[in-house]
Structures are given as structure tokens and as C-alpha cells.
């Protein structure tokens, strides 16, 4: 009898244990699912915030559509601005200024959210501002006396065509003295500093408001460098100089 009771007890123990182990895992509750979903969303938003920062730029429009504006900043870099239903537009001269009023050559100030990964700005405030002057510094590489244009070669190898107009003031700065000059005084190879504004008909040209000829500065961008005269050496460190007659 005692052995029978022990056998029943052992069988009952193992049957109960197997039943517990075989029991299905309870499905997550609605609260647990919501918590996991919120956690994933917070992690995603945190990752996005690390990639985004507020930034402002100024540039000249080279292309535009209902969803994007392409600008060229003062350093010559191309910037892409995305536009959506939250983007606000303003202009001191046009109360109804909007995306449809933006044309190539328009100067804009943009405040928005810059994405470090895509390198694009999501525009939040876009304002039309008066054109800012361009400053071109370089060497005169070509002169068009018929069209009154001068091509300036810059240090980075780029070239800019300068339009000379009736309002253009041309001066020469020599030996610390600034004197009045003119288009006819400009020569190839001279160093010039030009201040002007982009031509609305041709953004690659600058309408000069002021040109300063810097005669005392030689850049040598466009000229073949002249090799200096090398004085022969005896090998002992003593240089030989030609005899003067």
C-alpha cells in the first residue's frame, strides 16, 4: 500500500511538471505592445534629431519648383532647399510673395532644418532679400573692347566675365594712391578687384559697379612664369658672378 502511494505521488509530480512546461507563453498585452511601439518611435526620433540642426543660408536662385529651390551661396556652393506646406515666405516689397514668385537670380535668405546626411535644408522661413554684391579678385585674362567686357581669372582657375557699364567706376591703386581710371586703361595681366551684381540675363556675368586696378600686385595666374636666372655654383658653396665690364 505504501509503495502504491509513492508511485501515485511520483506520477502526479511529473505529469504536473510536464503540463507546466507545455503551457503556451502568454501573448503580450495591449499595454506591452503600446510601450514597445512608443519605445521604437522615441529611438527613431532621437536618431533623426541627431542628424538635424537649425541653419540659415543666403544664396541666389538657380532653379526652383513647387517642392525644391536650388541656391548658390556666396562661396559658390550649391544648396538644396526643400519646401512643404509649413514653409513660410515673405518679402518686404510683396505681401503675397510665395514659391511661384521665385525666379532665377532672386536672392533668398533661408532658415530651416539642415539634414547632415542628405545635406539638404527643409525650409521653414524663406525671405527675399536685396541682392548682395559679388566681389571678384583675380587677373585680367581677356579684354573684349567691342562689348566692353573683361574676363577675370581667379585663383581657383575659374573665370568670370565682367560687364563694364556707364555707371561702372574704374580706379587705379598705385603706390598707396587711388586715382580715377577707365576701361581703356585696363590691360591683360593686371590684378583687379571687382564689385558688382549678377546679370539677370546671364548669371555667369557680373555687372561691375566698381573696378580697382591693383598695379602693385602681380598674381601671375595667366602668364607663363619666367624662370629666374640661376647663378652657377662652384660646388663649394661659393657662387660665380659674371664680371662687369
What average pLDDT does this structure show over 156-178? 89
Task: Please say whether the beta carbons of 168 and 25 come within 8 A.
Answer: no
Band of residue 231 on the pLDDT scale cut at 50, 70, 90: very low
Residues 99-153: pLDDT tens digits? 999 999 888 999 999 998 888 999 999 999 876 778 899 999 999 999 999 999 9
Residues 23-80: pLDDT tens digits? 455 665 666 777 777 766 666 665 555 678 888 898 889 999 999 999 998 778 899 9
The predicted structure's pLDDT at residue 47: 53
Q: Is the pLDDT of residue 18 over 70?
A: no
The predicted structure's pLDDT at residue 75: 75
Q: Distance between CA 90 and CA 131 in Å, rounded?
A: 15
The predicted structure's pLDDT at residue 172: 93
C-alpha cell at 42: 522615441
Band of residue 228 on the pLDDT scale cut at 50, 70, 90: very low
The predicted structure's pLDDT at residue 141: 92
The predicted structure's pLDDT at residue 142: 93
Is the domain of 143 the same as that of 194? yes
The predicted structure's pLDDT at residue 11: 47
Looking at the domain assignment, is residue 173 inside a domain? Answer: yes
Between the alpha carbon of residue 20 and those of residues 9, 11, 17, 23, 29, the distances in Å are 17, 14, 5, 5, 21
We report the CATH number of the domain holding residue 172 as 2.40.50.320
Q: Decide which of 67, 97, 128 is a domain's last residue.
A: 128
The predicted structure's pLDDT at residue 80: 95
C-alpha cell at 119: 545635406
Q: Which long-range contacts (CB under 8 A, 24 or more apart) does 111-116 make?
A: 111/54, 111/55, 111/56, 112/54, 112/55, 112/56, 112/81, 113/52, 113/53, 113/54, 113/55, 114/52, 114/53, 114/54, 114/55, 115/51, 115/52, 116/51, 116/52, 116/53
Task: Please say whether the beta carbons of 113 and 101 come within 8 A.
Answer: no
Q: Decide which of 128, 159, 193 is a domain's last residue.
A: 128
Which residues face 167 on adjacent strands? none
Cell 505521488 found at: 9
Looking at the domain assignment, is residue 42 inside a domain? Answer: no
Q: Is the pLDDT of residue 244 over 60?
A: no
Looking at the domain assignment, is residue 1 inside a domain? Answer: no
Looking at the domain assignment, is residue 178 inside a domain? Answer: yes
Structural domain count of the chain: 2
Looking at the domain assignment, is residue 18 inside a domain? Answer: no
Q: Distance between CA 181 and CA 161 in Å, rounded?
A: 19
Q: Is the pLDDT of residue 192 over 70?
A: yes
Amino acid at each position: 500500500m505504501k509503495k502504491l502511494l509513492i508511485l501515485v505521488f511520483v506520477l502526479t509530480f511529473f505529469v504536473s511538471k510536464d503540463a507546466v512546461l507545455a503551457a503556451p507563453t502568454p501573448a503580450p498585452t495591449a499595454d506591452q505592445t503600446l510601450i514597445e511601439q512608443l519605445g521604437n518611435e522615441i529611438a527613431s526620433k532621437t536618431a533623426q534629431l541627431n542628424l538635424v540642426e537649425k541653419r540659415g543660408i543666403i544664396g541666389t536662385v538657380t532653379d526652383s519648383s513647387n517642392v525644391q529651390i536650388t541656391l548658390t551661396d556666396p562661396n559658390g556652393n550649391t544648396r538644396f532647399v526643400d519646401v512643404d506646406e509649413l514653409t513660410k515666405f515673405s518679402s518686404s516689397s510683396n505681401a503675397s510673395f510665395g514659391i511661384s514668385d521665385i525666379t532665377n537670380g532672386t536672392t533668398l535668405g533661408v532658415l530651416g532644418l539642415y539634414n547632415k546626411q542628405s545635406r539638404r535644408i527643409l525650409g521653414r522661413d524663406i525671405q527675399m532679400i536685396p541682392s548682395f554684391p559679388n566681389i571678384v579678385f583675380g587677373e585680367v585674362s581677356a579684354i573684349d573692347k567691342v562689348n566692353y567686357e573683361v574676363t577675370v581669372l581667379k585663383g581657383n582657375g575659374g573665370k568670370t566675365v565682367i560687364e563694364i557699364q556707364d555707371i561702372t567706376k574704374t580706379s587705379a591703386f598705385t603706390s598707396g594712391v587711388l586715382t580715377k581710371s577707365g576701361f581703356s586703361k585696363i590691360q591683360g595681366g593686371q590684378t583687379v578687384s571687382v564689385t558688382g551684381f549678377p546679370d539677370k540675363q546671364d548669371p555667369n556675368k557680373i555687372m561691375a559697379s566698381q573696378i580697382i586696378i591693383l598695379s602693385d600686385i602681380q598674381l601671375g595666374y595667366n602668364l607663363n612664369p619666367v624662370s629666374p636666372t640661376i647663378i652657377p655654383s662652384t660646388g663649394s658653396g661659393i657662387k660665380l658672378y659674371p664680371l662687369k665690364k
